[in-house]
């Protein structure tokens, strides 16, 4: 009996570690039926997140959100149904924010990740990027990842990636302890890597924002950012401990039955 239970545990552990779906605490992507009518304010697909808040300021130009195909502007490795933002032209004051909160603030061992696709830089004074907050979007900004008018992508004002490329990036944010957020990923050239930590002492990681502002439209839609596959997963050891508890409960019930 013990050998059989250990075999069951081993199989379940392999399944848990090998299957992202098994482990997900939160997930959403633009192919969800909730976005069949578009991606707009109050849209709410997937699970584990609050509804989206879209703040679009047209200025003298155009700004908004949509579901589209990143490959149409040369970005590879993303679904043909991905979230997108537009805010153009440069100097128009056009801007758009796509804000969302986690249903529960991230805890130690949990990792938030998403795909981010950008092709051409923002040009001029434009910017596009992502921010992670404590205390809502009006609270403390813990992380800012930004691309302005060059190939450079920065994190909190420091270099993150330097090269051009068209591959979708998967960026990961892991709370390794109550004071530390690990940020890691591969650049859009497919080879650059980044892996560093951010001090989050006393902070609750609860909200994120994607944004675009003043993007030049001198080459059509090539400067628009896309993002997709948002998810939160626990550390593998948490899953294994949970499975150990389940197997132990099964064993105890069998002993009682005898």
**Do 209 and 164 fall into the same domain?**
yes
The string of pLDDT tens digits covering residues 103-161 is 999 999 999 999 999 999 999 899 999 999 999 999 999 999 999 999 999 999 999 99
Least confident piece of the model among 30-39, 147-156, 171-180, 217-226? 217-226
User: Would you list the DSSP string of 152-179?
Assistant: -EEETTEEEE-----BPEEEEEEEEETT
Q: How far apart are CA 229 and CA 30, in angstroms?
A: 8
The string of pLDDT tens digits covering residues 70-119 is 999 999 999 999 999 999 999 999 999 999 999 999 999 999 999 999 99
pLDDT, residue 27, reads 98
- Looking at per-residue pLDDT, the higher value among 220 and 211 belongs to 211
Domain of residue 14 covers: 1-24+236-258
With beta carbons less than 8 A apart as the criterion, state whether 239 and 23 touch. Answer: yes
**Do 194 and 120 fall into the same domain?**
yes
Q: How far apart are CA 123 and CA 199, in angstroms?
A: 31
**Do 257 and 169 fall into the same domain?**
no
**Do 209 and 226 fall into the same domain?**
yes
**Coil, helix or strand at residue 96:** strand
**Coil, helix or strand at residue 125:** coil
**Do 77 and 201 fall into the same domain?**
yes
pLDDT, residue 1, reads 56
The string of pLDDT tens digits covering residues 13-41 is 444 444 445 589 999 999 999 999 999 99
With beta carbons less than 8 A apart as the criterion, state whether 46 and 96 touch. Answer: no
Identify the CATH number of the domain in which residue 192 sits. Answer: 2.60.120.200
Neighbours of 6 (CB within 10 A): 11
């Amino acid at each position: 009996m013990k050998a059989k239970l250990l075999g069951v545990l081993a199989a379940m552990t392999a399944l848990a570690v090998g299957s992202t779906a098994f482990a997900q605490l939160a997930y959403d992507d633009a192919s969800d039926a909730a976005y069949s009518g578009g991606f707009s304010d109050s849209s709410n697909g997937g699970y584990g997140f609050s509804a989206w808040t879209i703040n679009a300021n047209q200025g003298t130009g155009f700004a908004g959100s949509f579901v589209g195909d990143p490959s149409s502007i040369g970005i590879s490795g993303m679904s043909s149904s991905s979230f997108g933002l537009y805010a153009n032209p440069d100097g128009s004051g056009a801007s758009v924010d796509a804000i969302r909160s986690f249903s529960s603030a991230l805890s130690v061992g949990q990792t938030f990740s998403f795909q981010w696709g950008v092709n051409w830089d923002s040009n001029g004074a434009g910017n596009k990027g992502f921010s992670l907050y404590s205390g809502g979007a009006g609270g403390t900004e813990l992380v800012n990842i930004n691309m302005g008018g060059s190939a450079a992508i920065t994190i909190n004002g420091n270099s993150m990636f330097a090269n051009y490329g068209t591959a979708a990036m998967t960026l990961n944010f892991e709370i390794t302890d109550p004071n530390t957020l690990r940020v890691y990923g591969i650049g859009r050239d497919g080879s650059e890597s980044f892996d560093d930590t951010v001090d989050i002492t006393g902070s609750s990681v609860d909200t994120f924002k994607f944004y675009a502002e003043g993007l030049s439209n001198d080459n059509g839609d090539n400067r628009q950012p896309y993002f997709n596959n948002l998810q939160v997963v626990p550390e593998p050891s948490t899953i294994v401990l949970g499975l150990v508890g389940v197997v132990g409960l099964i064993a105890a019930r069998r002993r009682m039955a005898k």
